[in-house]
Structure 1
Amino acid sequence: MPIVPFLKWAGGKRWLISQDQLNPPPTYQRFIEPFLGGAAIYFQLSPVQSIISDINSDLIEFYSVLRDFPDHLSRMMGTHQQQHTKEYYYIQRATTYDTPLERAARFLYLNRTCWNGLYRVNKKGEFNVPIGTKDKVILDTDDFIGASTVLQNSEIRCSDFENTIDEAGQDDFVFVDPPYTVKHNNNNFIKYNESIFSWADQVRLHNAIIRAANRGAYIVICNADHKSIHDLYDDIGEYKQLSRYSVLAGKADKRKKTTEAMYRINFTQ
Protein backbone atom coordinates (compact mmCIF):
# COMPACT_ATOMS: atom_id res chain seq x y z
CA MET A 1 0.00 0.00 0.00
CA PRO A 2 1.26 3.54 -0.78
CA ILE A 3 2.33 5.75 2.11
CA VAL A 4 -0.43 8.12 3.25
CA PRO A 5 0.89 11.72 3.20
CA PHE A 6 1.86 13.09 6.60
CA LEU A 7 0.98 16.72 5.92
CA LYS A 8 -2.14 18.58 4.99
CA TRP A 9 -1.01 21.19 2.47
CA ALA A 10 -2.74 23.89 0.45
CA GLY A 11 -3.02 22.71 -3.13
CA GLY A 12 -2.36 19.10 -2.11
CA LYS A 13 -3.17 16.41 -4.65
CA ARG A 14 -4.79 13.63 -2.62
CA TRP A 15 -7.98 14.28 -4.57
CA LEU A 16 -6.12 13.74 -7.86
CA ILE A 17 -5.05 10.31 -6.68
CA SER A 18 -8.60 9.43 -5.60
CA GLN A 19 -9.86 10.40 -9.06
CA ASP A 20 -7.15 8.27 -10.70
CA GLN A 21 -6.37 10.92 -13.32
CA LEU A 22 -2.60 11.29 -13.04
CA ASN A 23 -1.79 8.52 -15.56
CA PRO A 24 2.02 8.67 -15.32
CA PRO A 25 4.13 7.23 -18.16
CA PRO A 26 4.42 3.43 -17.91
CA THR A 27 8.19 3.65 -17.43
CA TYR A 28 10.54 6.45 -16.50
CA GLN A 29 14.10 6.92 -15.29
CA ARG A 30 13.53 9.36 -12.44
CA PHE A 31 10.59 11.09 -10.83
CA ILE A 32 11.17 14.83 -10.34
CA GLU A 33 8.86 17.09 -8.33
CA PRO A 34 9.90 20.74 -7.84
CA PHE A 35 6.87 21.82 -5.71
CA LEU A 36 6.74 18.98 -3.20
CA GLY A 37 4.20 20.30 -0.69
CA GLY A 38 2.26 17.45 0.91
CA ALA A 39 3.98 14.88 -1.35
CA ALA A 40 0.76 12.98 -2.17
CA ILE A 41 1.86 12.15 -5.73
CA TYR A 42 5.39 11.27 -4.62
CA PHE A 43 4.24 8.79 -1.98
CA GLN A 44 1.63 7.33 -4.31
CA LEU A 45 4.30 6.56 -6.91
CA SER A 46 7.07 5.69 -4.40
CA PRO A 47 9.68 6.06 -7.16
CA VAL A 48 12.88 4.07 -7.22
CA GLN A 49 14.89 7.20 -8.05
CA SER A 50 13.81 10.81 -7.62
CA ILE A 51 14.63 14.44 -7.02
CA ILE A 52 12.10 16.20 -4.80
CA SER A 53 12.34 19.84 -3.84
CA ASP A 54 10.52 22.87 -2.54
CA ILE A 55 11.53 26.41 -1.69
CA ASN A 56 10.02 26.09 1.79
CA SER A 57 13.00 25.24 4.01
CA ASP A 58 10.84 24.10 6.96
CA LEU A 59 9.02 21.65 4.72
CA ILE A 60 12.21 20.22 3.23
CA GLU A 61 13.82 19.90 6.66
CA PHE A 62 10.80 17.90 7.81
CA TYR A 63 11.12 15.39 4.95
CA SER A 64 14.86 15.08 5.53
CA VAL A 65 14.31 14.29 9.20
CA LEU A 66 11.49 11.87 8.35
CA ARG A 67 13.94 10.07 6.06
CA ASP A 68 16.88 10.00 8.45
CA PHE A 69 15.30 9.76 11.94
CA PRO A 70 11.83 8.17 11.64
CA ASP A 71 11.90 6.49 15.07
CA HIS A 72 13.04 9.62 16.87
CA LEU A 73 10.44 11.72 15.08
CA SER A 74 7.68 9.25 15.95
CA ARG A 75 8.60 9.34 19.64
CA MET A 76 8.66 13.14 19.69
CA MET A 77 5.21 13.23 18.10
CA GLY A 78 4.02 10.97 20.93
CA THR A 79 5.27 13.56 23.40
CA HIS A 80 3.43 16.33 21.55
CA GLN A 81 0.27 14.20 21.61
CA GLN A 82 0.46 13.72 25.37
CA GLN A 83 0.93 17.44 26.04
CA HIS A 84 -1.41 18.89 23.43
CA THR A 85 -3.70 21.63 24.73
CA LYS A 86 -4.59 25.08 23.47
CA GLU A 87 -1.97 26.61 25.74
CA TYR A 88 0.65 24.09 24.63
CA TYR A 89 -0.11 24.82 20.96
CA TYR A 90 0.63 28.52 21.34
CA ILE A 91 3.77 27.79 23.36
CA GLN A 92 5.00 25.57 20.55
CA ARG A 93 4.04 28.11 17.92
CA ALA A 94 6.20 30.72 19.68
CA THR A 95 9.12 28.37 20.37
CA THR A 96 12.30 28.28 18.28
CA TYR A 97 14.27 25.02 18.42
CA ASP A 98 17.97 24.44 17.77
CA THR A 99 17.96 20.96 16.21
CA PRO A 100 16.44 19.70 12.94
CA LEU A 101 14.66 16.87 14.80
CA GLU A 102 12.93 19.24 17.23
CA ARG A 103 12.02 21.63 14.43
CA ALA A 104 10.60 18.83 12.28
CA ALA A 105 8.47 17.50 15.14
CA ARG A 106 7.17 21.00 15.86
CA PHE A 107 6.44 21.50 12.15
CA LEU A 108 4.34 18.32 11.95
CA TYR A 109 2.64 19.04 15.28
CA LEU A 110 1.59 22.53 14.17
CA ASN A 111 0.46 21.25 10.78
CA ARG A 112 -1.88 18.77 12.43
CA THR A 113 -3.30 21.02 15.11
CA CYS A 114 -3.47 24.43 13.41
CA TRP A 115 -6.50 25.77 11.58
CA ASN A 116 -7.18 23.62 8.51
CA GLY A 117 -3.55 22.56 8.12
CA LEU A 118 -2.67 25.98 6.73
CA TYR A 119 0.97 27.01 6.40
CA ARG A 120 1.34 30.78 6.73
CA VAL A 121 4.10 32.97 8.05
CA ASN A 122 4.36 36.68 8.77
CA LYS A 123 6.92 39.07 7.30
CA LYS A 124 9.46 37.88 9.87
CA GLY A 125 9.01 34.29 8.71
CA GLU A 126 7.15 33.32 11.89
CA PHE A 127 4.34 30.76 11.71
CA ASN A 128 1.16 32.59 12.74
CA VAL A 129 -1.82 30.29 12.08
CA PRO A 130 -4.29 29.95 15.00
CA ILE A 131 -5.15 26.64 16.62
CA GLY A 132 -7.68 24.46 14.83
CA THR A 133 -10.25 21.93 15.98
CA LYS A 134 -8.25 18.71 15.49
CA ASP A 135 -6.75 17.06 18.54
CA LYS A 136 -5.03 14.07 16.94
CA VAL A 137 -1.29 14.55 16.68
CA ILE A 138 -0.56 10.93 15.74
CA LEU A 139 -2.78 9.39 13.06
CA ASP A 140 -3.67 5.75 12.46
CA THR A 141 -2.25 6.10 8.93
CA ASP A 142 1.21 7.22 10.09
CA ASP A 143 3.98 4.95 8.84
CA PHE A 144 7.22 6.65 9.80
CA ILE A 145 9.42 3.69 8.88
CA GLY A 146 7.66 3.11 5.56
CA ALA A 147 7.96 6.77 4.61
CA SER A 148 11.63 6.77 5.57
CA THR A 149 12.21 3.71 3.38
CA VAL A 150 10.67 5.42 0.34
CA LEU A 151 12.56 8.66 1.00
CA GLN A 152 15.91 6.82 1.09
CA ASN A 153 15.73 6.69 -2.71
CA SER A 154 15.32 10.44 -3.06
CA GLU A 155 17.52 13.47 -3.31
CA ILE A 156 15.73 16.05 -1.15
CA ARG A 157 16.50 19.70 -1.85
CA CYS A 158 15.49 23.13 -0.70
CA SER A 159 15.62 24.77 -4.10
CA ASP A 160 13.95 27.10 -6.55
CA PHE A 161 11.84 25.13 -9.03
CA GLU A 162 13.91 26.19 -12.04
CA ASN A 163 17.09 24.62 -10.69
CA THR A 164 15.30 21.31 -10.16
CA ILE A 165 13.49 21.22 -13.51
CA ASP A 166 16.72 22.10 -15.31
CA GLU A 167 18.10 18.71 -14.24
CA ALA A 168 15.28 16.78 -15.94
CA GLY A 169 16.22 14.94 -19.11
CA GLN A 170 15.50 11.94 -21.29
CA ASP A 171 12.98 9.51 -19.77
CA ASP A 172 12.44 11.55 -16.59
CA PHE A 173 8.88 12.10 -15.34
CA VAL A 174 8.33 15.61 -13.95
CA PHE A 175 5.19 16.42 -11.94
CA VAL A 176 4.70 20.16 -11.57
CA ASP A 177 2.13 21.71 -9.22
CA PRO A 178 2.95 25.40 -8.63
CA PRO A 179 0.95 27.99 -6.69
CA TYR A 180 -1.98 29.05 -8.87
CA THR A 181 -1.34 32.67 -9.81
CA VAL A 182 -2.72 34.15 -13.03
CA LYS A 183 -1.91 37.17 -15.18
CA HIS A 184 -3.20 40.59 -14.02
CA ASN A 185 -4.30 39.07 -10.70
CA ASN A 186 -1.03 38.29 -8.96
CA ASN A 187 -2.30 38.99 -5.45
CA ASN A 188 -5.27 36.62 -5.67
CA PHE A 189 -3.15 33.73 -4.36
CA ILE A 190 -3.02 33.47 -0.58
CA LYS A 191 0.51 34.09 0.62
CA TYR A 192 1.47 30.77 2.20
CA ASN A 193 5.19 31.35 1.76
CA GLU A 194 7.22 34.43 2.44
CA SER A 195 7.36 35.41 -1.22
CA ILE A 196 4.41 35.13 -3.57
CA PHE A 197 4.60 33.11 -6.77
CA SER A 198 4.23 35.88 -9.34
CA TRP A 199 3.16 35.86 -12.96
CA ALA A 200 6.83 36.29 -13.87
CA ASP A 201 7.46 33.02 -12.02
CA GLN A 202 4.71 31.37 -14.07
CA VAL A 203 6.43 32.46 -17.27
CA ARG A 204 9.81 31.33 -15.92
CA LEU A 205 8.24 27.96 -15.08
CA HIS A 206 6.78 27.65 -18.58
CA ASN A 207 10.19 28.28 -20.12
CA ALA A 208 11.87 25.73 -17.82
CA ILE A 209 9.25 23.13 -18.77
CA ILE A 210 9.86 23.70 -22.48
CA ARG A 211 13.60 23.23 -21.98
CA ALA A 212 13.02 20.00 -20.06
CA ALA A 213 10.62 18.68 -22.70
CA ASN A 214 13.18 19.45 -25.39
CA ARG A 215 15.66 17.29 -23.46
CA GLY A 216 13.21 14.38 -23.53
CA ALA A 217 11.38 14.72 -20.19
CA TYR A 218 7.70 13.81 -19.82
CA ILE A 219 5.89 16.55 -17.87
CA VAL A 220 2.51 16.75 -16.18
CA ILE A 221 1.57 20.18 -14.84
CA CYS A 222 -1.47 21.15 -12.78
CA ASN A 223 -2.30 24.84 -12.74
CA ALA A 224 -5.10 27.39 -12.62
CA ASP A 225 -7.88 26.75 -15.13
CA HIS A 226 -7.61 30.26 -16.52
CA LYS A 227 -7.16 31.84 -19.93
CA SER A 228 -3.71 33.19 -19.08
CA ILE A 229 -2.51 29.66 -18.24
CA HIS A 230 -4.18 28.25 -21.35
CA ASP A 231 -2.36 30.86 -23.44
CA LEU A 232 0.94 29.61 -21.98
CA TYR A 233 0.42 25.90 -22.51
CA ASP A 234 -2.20 25.24 -25.19
CA ASP A 235 0.41 25.21 -27.97
CA ILE A 236 2.77 22.79 -26.21
CA GLY A 237 0.60 20.42 -24.17
CA GLU A 238 -2.50 18.25 -24.08
CA TYR A 239 -5.15 19.98 -21.92
CA LYS A 240 -7.58 18.31 -19.55
CA GLN A 241 -9.99 20.05 -17.18
CA LEU A 242 -10.11 18.58 -13.67
CA SER A 243 -12.99 19.12 -11.26
CA ARG A 244 -12.78 19.03 -7.48
CA TYR A 245 -14.15 20.64 -4.32
CA SER A 246 -12.16 23.41 -2.65
CA VAL A 247 -10.60 22.26 0.63
CA LEU A 248 -9.56 25.65 2.04
CA ALA A 249 -12.90 26.61 3.58
CA GLY A 250 -13.08 25.84 7.27
CA LYS A 251 -16.49 24.14 7.03
CA ALA A 252 -17.26 21.35 4.57
CA ASP A 253 -20.58 22.90 3.50
CA LYS A 254 -18.73 26.05 2.39
CA ARG A 255 -16.41 24.17 0.03
CA LYS A 256 -17.42 24.92 -3.54
CA LYS A 257 -16.72 22.99 -6.68
CA THR A 258 -13.84 24.34 -8.74
CA THR A 259 -11.77 23.35 -11.75
CA GLU A 260 -8.06 23.03 -12.41
CA ALA A 261 -6.09 22.64 -15.61
CA MET A 262 -3.83 19.69 -16.30
CA TYR A 263 -1.38 19.66 -19.21
CA ARG A 264 0.68 16.71 -20.43
CA ILE A 265 3.80 17.75 -22.30
CA ASN A 266 5.90 15.24 -24.18
CA PHE A 267 7.87 16.30 -27.26
CA THR A 268 9.26 12.82 -27.95
CA GLN A 269 5.98 11.32 -29.19
Structure 2
Amino acid sequence: MKKQRAFLKWAGGKYELVDTIRQYLPEGDQLIEPFVGAGSVFLNTNYKSYLLADINHDLIELFNLLKSKPNEFINDLKIFFQPQNNKPEAFYQLRDVFNYSKDQYLRSLLFIYLNRHCYNGLCRYNNSGLFNVPFGRYKTIYFPEKELNFFAKKAQNAEFICAPYQEVMKKAKKNSVIYCDPPYLSPNDSAGFTAYYSNNFGYEEHKKLSKLAEKMAYKNNIPVLVSNHDTDYTRTLYRKARHLYRAEMRRSISCDGEGRKKIDEILALYK
Protein backbone atom coordinates (compact mmCIF):
# COMPACT_ATOMS: atom_id res chain seq x y z
CA MET A 1 0.00 0.00 0.00
CA LYS A 2 1.49 3.30 -1.14
CA LYS A 3 1.70 5.82 1.70
CA GLN A 4 -0.52 8.87 1.38
CA ARG A 5 0.51 12.24 2.72
CA ALA A 6 -1.89 14.56 4.51
CA PHE A 7 -2.66 17.90 2.86
CA LEU A 8 -1.74 19.73 6.09
CA LYS A 9 1.69 20.00 7.66
CA TRP A 10 1.41 18.90 11.28
CA ALA A 11 3.78 18.94 14.25
CA GLY A 12 3.91 15.36 15.52
CA GLY A 13 2.27 14.01 12.35
CA LYS A 14 2.45 10.25 11.93
CA TYR A 15 3.36 9.91 8.24
CA GLU A 16 6.84 8.54 9.01
CA LEU A 17 5.53 6.09 11.60
CA VAL A 18 2.42 4.94 9.78
CA ASP A 19 3.80 1.57 8.61
CA THR A 20 4.65 0.65 12.20
CA ILE A 21 1.29 1.86 13.51
CA ARG A 22 -0.54 -0.17 10.84
CA GLN A 23 1.42 -3.23 11.91
CA TYR A 24 0.13 -3.00 15.50
CA LEU A 25 -3.39 -1.66 14.98
CA PRO A 26 -5.92 -4.46 15.61
CA GLU A 27 -8.48 -5.37 12.97
CA GLY A 28 -12.03 -4.10 13.30
CA ASP A 29 -14.87 -2.42 11.44
CA GLN A 30 -14.34 1.14 12.68
CA LEU A 31 -11.26 3.16 13.61
CA ILE A 32 -11.76 5.90 16.20
CA GLU A 33 -9.13 8.65 16.49
CA PRO A 34 -9.76 11.13 19.34
CA PHE A 35 -6.67 13.16 18.31
CA VAL A 36 -6.89 13.01 14.52
CA GLY A 37 -4.51 15.90 13.72
CA ALA A 38 -3.77 15.97 9.98
CA GLY A 39 -5.09 12.42 9.59
CA SER A 40 -2.09 10.38 8.43
CA VAL A 41 -3.28 7.20 10.16
CA PHE A 42 -6.80 7.62 8.78
CA LEU A 43 -5.40 8.13 5.27
CA ASN A 44 -3.22 5.02 5.43
CA THR A 45 -5.59 2.42 6.90
CA ASN A 46 -8.57 0.56 5.48
CA TYR A 47 -11.37 0.33 8.02
CA LYS A 48 -14.99 0.28 6.87
CA SER A 49 -15.73 3.51 8.74
CA TYR A 50 -13.99 6.16 10.83
CA LEU A 51 -14.90 8.41 13.75
CA LEU A 52 -12.30 11.19 13.74
CA ALA A 53 -12.16 13.90 16.37
CA ASP A 54 -10.13 16.82 17.62
CA ILE A 55 -10.68 19.71 20.01
CA ASN A 56 -9.58 22.17 17.31
CA HIS A 57 -12.85 23.50 15.93
CA ASP A 58 -11.19 25.03 12.85
CA LEU A 59 -9.66 21.69 11.90
CA ILE A 60 -12.92 19.74 12.17
CA GLU A 61 -14.94 22.38 10.31
CA LEU A 62 -12.33 22.29 7.55
CA PHE A 63 -12.55 18.49 7.24
CA ASN A 64 -16.35 18.60 7.10
CA LEU A 65 -16.36 21.30 4.40
CA LEU A 66 -13.80 19.44 2.29
CA LYS A 67 -15.87 16.26 2.64
CA SER A 68 -19.14 17.94 1.63
CA LYS A 69 -18.03 20.16 -1.28
CA PRO A 70 -14.52 19.13 -2.40
CA ASN A 71 -14.47 20.57 -5.94
CA GLU A 72 -15.78 24.00 -4.98
CA PHE A 73 -13.56 24.13 -1.90
CA ILE A 74 -10.34 23.16 -3.73
CA ASN A 75 -11.03 25.64 -6.55
CA ASP A 76 -11.64 28.46 -4.08
CA LEU A 77 -8.48 27.54 -2.17
CA LYS A 78 -6.30 28.00 -5.28
CA ILE A 79 -6.96 31.75 -5.15
CA PHE A 80 -4.84 32.01 -1.99
CA PHE A 81 -1.92 30.01 -3.37
CA GLN A 82 -0.63 32.76 -5.66
CA PRO A 83 2.98 34.07 -5.63
CA GLN A 84 1.85 37.49 -4.36
CA ASN A 85 0.50 35.81 -1.20
CA ASN A 86 3.88 34.28 -0.37
CA LYS A 87 5.12 37.56 1.10
CA PRO A 88 5.13 38.73 4.73
CA GLU A 89 2.73 41.64 4.15
CA ALA A 90 0.12 39.42 2.48
CA PHE A 91 0.60 36.65 5.05
CA TYR A 92 0.00 38.94 8.04
CA GLN A 93 -3.01 40.57 6.37
CA LEU A 94 -4.58 37.17 5.66
CA ARG A 95 -3.72 35.95 9.14
CA ASP A 96 -5.70 38.92 10.52
CA VAL A 97 -8.61 38.10 8.21
CA PHE A 98 -8.59 34.53 9.56
CA ASN A 99 -8.40 35.66 13.17
CA TYR A 100 -11.30 38.10 12.99
CA SER A 101 -13.57 36.38 10.47
CA LYS A 102 -16.77 34.62 11.60
CA ASP A 103 -17.23 33.06 8.15
CA GLN A 104 -16.35 29.40 8.65
CA TYR A 105 -15.90 28.68 4.93
CA LEU A 106 -13.37 31.51 4.61
CA ARG A 107 -11.66 30.45 7.86
CA SER A 108 -11.28 26.91 6.51
CA LEU A 109 -9.68 28.13 3.29
CA LEU A 110 -7.35 30.41 5.23
CA PHE A 111 -6.51 27.64 7.72
CA ILE A 112 -4.87 25.70 4.87
CA TYR A 113 -3.23 28.84 3.47
CA LEU A 114 -1.73 29.65 6.88
CA ASN A 115 -0.67 26.05 7.45
CA ARG A 116 1.26 25.96 4.19
CA HIS A 117 2.79 29.45 4.47
CA CYS A 118 3.56 29.75 8.19
CA TYR A 119 6.70 28.72 10.06
CA ASN A 120 7.09 24.92 10.03
CA GLY A 121 3.38 24.39 9.49
CA LEU A 122 2.73 24.89 13.19
CA CYS A 123 -0.80 25.30 14.51
CA ARG A 124 -0.71 27.57 17.54
CA TYR A 125 -3.18 29.99 19.08
CA ASN A 126 -2.60 32.58 21.80
CA ASN A 127 -4.68 32.86 24.99
CA SER A 128 -7.22 34.98 23.12
CA GLY A 129 -7.71 32.21 20.56
CA LEU A 130 -5.83 34.06 17.80
CA PHE A 131 -3.57 32.12 15.41
CA ASN A 132 -0.10 33.56 16.02
CA VAL A 133 2.48 31.52 14.06
CA PRO A 134 4.80 33.80 12.04
CA PHE A 135 5.46 33.78 8.29
CA GLY A 136 7.51 30.80 7.10
CA ARG A 137 9.62 32.40 4.33
CA TYR A 138 9.47 29.48 1.88
CA LYS A 139 10.83 30.10 -1.63
CA THR A 140 8.08 28.03 -3.20
CA ILE A 141 4.76 26.82 -1.86
CA TYR A 142 3.29 23.45 -2.77
CA PHE A 143 -0.44 23.35 -3.48
CA PRO A 144 -1.61 19.97 -2.16
CA GLU A 145 -4.39 19.35 -4.71
CA LYS A 146 -3.74 15.62 -5.02
CA GLU A 147 -3.72 15.20 -1.23
CA LEU A 148 -6.90 17.27 -0.82
CA ASN A 149 -8.75 15.14 -3.38
CA PHE A 150 -7.60 11.89 -1.80
CA PHE A 151 -8.68 13.08 1.65
CA ALA A 152 -12.10 14.22 0.38
CA LYS A 153 -12.73 10.87 -1.28
CA LYS A 154 -11.72 8.84 1.77
CA ALA A 155 -13.66 11.18 4.07
CA GLN A 156 -16.94 9.89 2.64
CA ASN A 157 -16.55 6.94 5.05
CA ALA A 158 -15.68 9.17 8.01
CA GLU A 159 -17.50 11.24 10.59
CA PHE A 160 -15.62 14.28 11.93
CA ILE A 161 -16.54 15.69 15.33
CA CYS A 162 -15.13 18.39 17.61
CA ALA A 163 -15.09 16.85 21.08
CA PRO A 164 -12.70 15.97 23.94
CA TYR A 165 -11.07 12.55 23.82
CA GLN A 166 -13.07 11.12 26.75
CA GLU A 167 -16.37 11.68 24.93
CA VAL A 168 -15.00 10.29 21.69
CA MET A 169 -13.56 7.10 23.19
CA LYS A 170 -16.84 6.36 24.95
CA LYS A 171 -18.61 6.25 21.57
CA ALA A 172 -16.78 3.02 20.70
CA LYS A 173 -18.97 0.03 19.90
CA LYS A 174 -18.32 -3.64 19.28
CA ASN A 175 -15.67 -4.07 16.54
CA SER A 176 -14.34 -0.51 17.07
CA VAL A 177 -10.59 0.09 17.41
CA ILE A 178 -9.18 3.24 19.04
CA TYR A 179 -5.89 4.91 18.11
CA CYS A 180 -4.76 7.74 20.43
CA ASP A 181 -2.05 10.19 19.40
CA PRO A 182 -2.14 12.75 22.23
CA PRO A 183 0.16 15.81 22.40
CA TYR A 184 3.42 14.20 23.48
CA LEU A 185 5.33 14.47 26.69
CA SER A 186 8.82 15.65 25.82
CA PRO A 187 11.69 13.13 25.78
CA ASN A 188 13.41 14.74 28.78
CA ASP A 189 10.15 14.84 30.78
CA SER A 190 10.05 18.65 30.73
CA ALA A 191 7.03 20.60 29.53
CA GLY A 192 7.69 19.88 25.87
CA PHE A 193 5.20 20.33 23.05
CA THR A 194 2.01 19.90 25.06
CA ALA A 195 0.29 23.22 24.34
CA TYR A 196 -2.35 22.10 21.87
CA TYR A 197 -4.97 24.40 20.41
CA SER A 198 -6.03 26.43 23.49
CA ASN A 199 -5.61 23.49 25.81
CA ASN A 200 -2.70 22.14 27.81
CA PHE A 201 -2.23 18.39 27.77
CA GLY A 202 0.06 17.73 30.72
CA TYR A 203 0.87 14.82 33.03
CA GLU A 204 -2.58 14.61 34.59
CA GLU A 205 -4.29 14.32 31.20
CA HIS A 206 -1.84 11.61 30.13
CA LYS A 207 -2.65 9.68 33.30
CA LYS A 208 -6.39 10.02 32.69
CA LEU A 209 -5.94 8.86 29.10
CA SER A 210 -3.97 5.77 30.14
CA LYS A 211 -6.65 4.89 32.74
CA LEU A 212 -9.40 5.28 30.16
CA ALA A 213 -7.45 3.11 27.69
CA GLU A 214 -7.26 0.39 30.38
CA LYS A 215 -10.99 0.63 31.03
CA MET A 216 -11.96 0.54 27.34
CA ALA A 217 -9.76 -2.49 26.67
CA TYR A 218 -10.16 -4.58 29.80
CA LYS A 219 -13.78 -3.80 30.74
CA ASN A 220 -15.38 -2.94 27.40
CA ASN A 221 -13.27 -5.19 25.16
CA ILE A 222 -12.31 -2.32 22.81
CA PRO A 223 -8.62 -2.40 21.78
CA VAL A 224 -6.70 0.87 22.20
CA LEU A 225 -3.31 1.76 20.72
CA VAL A 226 -1.56 4.84 22.19
CA SER A 227 1.62 6.52 20.93
CA ASN A 228 4.07 8.74 22.81
CA HIS A 229 7.78 9.37 23.28
CA ASP A 230 9.65 6.41 24.75
CA THR A 231 10.78 7.54 28.21
CA ASP A 232 10.96 5.99 31.67
CA TYR A 233 7.86 7.98 32.55
CA THR A 234 5.76 6.78 29.60
CA ARG A 235 6.84 3.18 30.18
CA THR A 236 5.55 3.53 33.75
CA LEU A 237 2.43 5.29 32.50
CA TYR A 238 1.59 2.48 30.09
CA ARG A 239 2.78 -0.42 32.26
CA LYS A 240 -0.69 -2.04 32.17
CA ALA A 241 -0.72 -2.25 28.38
CA ARG A 242 -0.69 -5.77 26.95
CA HIS A 243 2.22 -4.91 24.65
CA LEU A 244 4.78 -2.09 24.46
CA TYR A 245 6.47 -1.60 21.10
CA ARG A 246 9.36 0.73 20.33
CA ALA A 247 9.87 2.59 17.06
CA GLU A 248 12.44 5.11 15.93
CA MET A 249 11.20 8.24 14.24
CA ARG A 250 12.67 11.54 13.13
CA ARG A 251 10.75 14.44 14.57
CA SER A 252 10.33 17.43 12.28
CA ILE A 253 9.67 20.31 14.63
CA SER A 254 13.18 21.80 14.65
CA CYS A 255 13.90 24.42 11.98
CA ASP A 256 17.56 23.42 11.99
CA GLY A 257 17.91 20.26 9.89
CA GLU A 258 20.91 19.19 11.94
CA GLY A 259 18.83 19.45 15.09
CA ARG A 260 16.26 16.93 13.90
CA LYS A 261 17.39 13.97 15.88
CA LYS A 262 15.86 10.53 15.96
CA ILE A 263 13.77 9.96 19.04
CA ASP A 264 12.41 6.59 20.04
CA GLU A 265 8.65 6.36 20.19
CA ILE A 266 6.51 3.95 22.15
CA LEU A 267 3.28 2.28 21.06
CA ALA A 268 1.21 0.89 23.92
CA LEU A 269 -1.42 -1.67 22.93
CA TYR A 270 -4.29 -2.35 25.30
CA LYS A 271 -6.43 -5.32 24.21
Taking structure 1 as the reference length, what is the TM-score of the superposition?
A: 0.90
- After TM superposition, the structure 1 = structure 2 runs for residues 171-210 of structure 1, keeping only pairs within 5 Å, are 171-181=175-185, 185=189, 187-210=191-214
Instruction: Go from structure 1 to structure 2 and tell me whether the alpha carbon gap of 1:184 and 1:177 turns closer, same or farther (over 3 Å shift).
Output: same
Instruction: Go from structure 1 to structure 2 and tell me whether the alpha carbon gap of 1:254 and 1:180 turns closer, same or farther (over 3 Å shift).
Output: same
Q: Deviations over 1:156-210 (max 9, x none)?
A: 1100001111122332111111011379956333524212102111111112112
For residue 110 of structure 2, the aligned residue among 94, 99, 106 is 106
For residue 93 of structure 1, the aligned residue among 88, 92, 95 is 95
Aligned to 2:81, the other structure's residue is in SS state helix
Q: Indicate yes or no: 2:147 matched with 1:159.
A: no
Query: Whole-Å Cα distance in 2 between the matches of residues 187 and 263 of structure 1?
Result: 21
RMSD: 2.2
Aligned to 1:259, the other structure's residue is in SS state strand
Instruction: Go from structure 1 to structure 2 and tell me whether the alpha carbon gap of 1:201 and 1:243 turns closer, same or farther (over 3 Å shift).
Output: same
Query: 1:5, 1:38 within 8 Å by CA — same for their partners in 2?
Result: yes
Letter in 2 for 1:164: V
Letter in 2 for 1:167: K
Query: Whole-Å Cα distance in 2 between the matches of residues 25 and 237 of structure 1?
Result: 13
Query: Whole-Å Cα distance in 2 between the matches of residues 211 and 67 of structure 1?
Result: 33
- After TM superposition, the structure 1 = structure 2 runs for residues 22-33 of structure 1, keeping only pairs within 5 Å, are 22-25=22-25, 27-33=27-33
Corresponding position of 1:117:
121
Instruction: Go from structure 1 to structure 2 and tell me whether the alpha carbon gap of 1:48 and 1:7 turns closer, same or farther (over 3 Å shift).
Output: same
Query: Whole-Å Cα distance in 1 between the matches of residues 256 and 186 of structure 2?
Result: 26
Corresponding position of 2:236:
231
Instruction: Go from structure 1 to structure 2 and tell me whether the alpha carbon gap of 1:30 and 1:24 turns closer, same or farther (over 3 Å shift).
Output: farther
Query: Whole-Å Cα distance in 2 between the matches of residues 154 and 123 of structure 1?
Result: 31
Query: Whole-Å Cα distance in 1 between the matches of residues 4 and 69 of structure 2?
Result: 17
Shift in Å at residue 215 of structure 1? 1.2
Runs of 4+ in 1 over 4 A off after TM superposition: 182-186
Shift in Å at residue 97 of structure 1? 2.6
Shift in Å at residue 264 of structure 1? 1.4
For residue 148 of structure 1, the aligned residue among 145, 149, 152 is 152
Query: Whole-Å Cα distance in 2 between the matches of residues 85 and 132 of structure 1?
Result: 9
Letter in 2 for 1:179: P
Query: Whole-Å Cα distance in 2 between the matches of residues 195 and 186 of structure 1?
Result: 17
Instruction: Go from structure 1 to structure 2 and tell me whether the alpha carbon gap of 1:113 and 1:36 turns closer, same or farther (over 3 Å shift).
Output: same
Aligned to 1:221, the other structure's residue is in SS state strand
Query: Whole-Å Cα distance in 2 between the matches of residues 37 and 249 of structure 1?
Result: 19
Instruction: Go from structure 1 to structure 2 and tell me whether the alpha carbon gap of 1:72 and 1:137 turns closer, same or farther (over 3 Å shift).
Output: farther
Instruction: Go from structure 1 to structure 2 and tell me whether the alpha carbon gap of 1:21 and 1:3 turns closer, same or farther (over 3 Å shift).
Output: closer
Aligned to 2:16, the other structure's residue is in SS state helix
Query: Whole-Å Cα distance in 1 between the matches of residues 5 and 189 of structure 2?
Result: 34
Query: Whole-Å Cα distance in 1 between the matches of residues 78 and 39 of structure 2?
Result: 23
Corresponding position of 2:12:
11
Q: Which shows bigger deviation, 57-66 or 228-237? A: 228-237
Q: Indicate yes or no: 2:259 matched with 1:259.
A: no
Instruction: Go from structure 1 to structure 2 and tell me whether the alpha carbon gap of 1:109 and 1:137 turns closer, same or farther (over 3 Å shift).
Output: farther
For residue 126 of structure 1, the aligned residue among 130, 151, 155 is 130
Letter in 1 for 2:48: V
Unaligned runs of 5+ in 2: none
